[in-house]
Structure 1
């Protein structure tokens, strides 16, 4: 099955290069080549994850498997998003990072069995958490793009960039993603409080606390935008800060345990 991972990495690389080529040659009508390469990469990536996560005794939810799964979800959602409006500037980063995580997962295999078939409530909690994290990570990417475009606009350097959607459109999609992500994150936290007795047990309490702090950051951002009219740098930095907190909550301790202390 490693052949599937190698082919997926090759298609991710091809998709990233095709996106760069499309941006450097805006007159070209070959964007479907990059989308086709990305679709092949995501299909192979999904098959490899199905084999390495599901078709094993228990479910192997090691840190790198989960990170690779998140990158696949982000790739799928971003590919759908890019077909609606031009955010091709982000796609080489998205596809390239997915390929790098997949390579790390293949080169540094680890095992963390969960046996979720006996605990469907845990599967619900994990699924909601991964979807909310993916949406909020995409929102942070849009926030970074928004900040980059704002900076270029102030310095009158937008002319040498590929065609991009209006800044208001990017901001509107940004807050839609944050709202949906916060709703899913709320459901994930609630399901954990109701179903997981060990959520605040020693060794796991820090994850729950940091996740709740991140939730407060995002709720504060939505409130500030709706009630106080927050825009610009406040929105960008708050969105990135929330994403970093969630990353620390979901992967921080497991990175130390599964990678640094191996």
Structure 2
């Protein structure tokens, strides 16, 4: 399985380099080669995670395995949506970060065994949480891109960038992703409240509290945009804050216990 990890890293690197080349040469017709490399990386990454997470006693949901799984979901969604969103500027970052997480997970294997086959309701809760976090992370990336392009526009420096969709279009996609992510986050929190009796137990309550605060922030952002016309920096900073809160909720304590205190 080490060969799968190495090949996946190599294809992620190829995909990132191909995306950079396409950004520097927008009229070049070799864009499909970058997508082929990305698809190969995703396939190999998926096989490696299947072996690391599933083909063990129980399911190994270590922090790095979960982070790598989220990066795989984000890469898959972004690869499918990039042509529609026309946000090629983000793809080298997406592929590069996925490759970096895979390298880290490969070099620092951890163990956090669960037995989800006996508790399908927990599997549902975790699946909803992972997908909602992935969508809201993509929304965070779009918010960063929106802020970057807005800054460049105010400095009259957009002419040096490759063709990008209008800022209004990016903002519309941003709110669609936030809405979809909030719907799934609502279902995830609701399933946790319904199925997890230990959700607010000592050592775990911070995850629920931070997730609920993030949910309130995203809901307020959607309401403010719809009712009060919130746009611009307020939207960008709120989106970033929500992503940080969810990251702390999902990975904060486990980063300390599984990485810093190893």
Does residue 245 (structure 1) correspond to residue 238 (structure 2)? The answer is: no
How far did residue 217 of structure 1 move?
Answer: 0.6
What is the aligned length? 262
RMSD: 0.5
Partner of 2:164, secondary structure, is: coil
Structure-2 separation of matches of 1:83 and 1:36:
14
Larger CA deviation: 126-135 vs 75-84? 75-84
Q: What pairs up with 1:75-224 in 2 under 5 angstroms?
A: 75-224=75-224
The alignment's TM-score, normalised by the length of structure 1, stands at: 0.99
CA displacement 1:226-261 (0-9 Å, x = unmatched): 111000000000000000000000000000000000
Q: What pairs up with 1:9-24 in 2 under 5 angstroms?
A: 9-24=9-24
Residue matched to 2:63: 63
Partner of 1:34, secondary structure, is: helix
Partner of 2:60, secondary structure, is: coil
Structure-2 separation of matches of 1:63 and 1:238:
26
How far did residue 85 of structure 1 move?
Answer: 3.1
Structure-1 separation of matches of 2:99 and 2:205:
32
Partner of 2:113, secondary structure, is: coil
Structure-2 separation of matches of 1:143 and 1:151:
12
- Structure 1 residues not aligned, in runs of 5+: none
| Preserved contact between residue 85 and residue 173 of structure 2 (Cα < 8 Å) | no
- Structure 2 residues not aligned, in runs of 5+: none
| Preserved contact between residue 85 and residue 170 of structure 2 (Cα < 8 Å) | no
Partner of 2:111, secondary structure, is: coil
Runs of 4+ in structure 1 displaced over 3 angstroms? none
Structure-1 separation of matches of 2:7 and 2:258:
26
Structure-2 separation of matches of 1:23 and 1:142:
17
Structure-2 separation of matches of 1:236 and 1:81:
21
Structure-2 separation of matches of 1:23 and 1:109:
35
Structure-2 separation of matches of 1:241 and 1:85:
23
Q: What pairs up with 1:35-54 in 2 under 5 angstroms?
A: 35-54=35-54
Structure-2 separation of matches of 1:8 and 1:193:
37
Residue matched to 2:234: 234
Partner of 1:26, secondary structure, is: coil
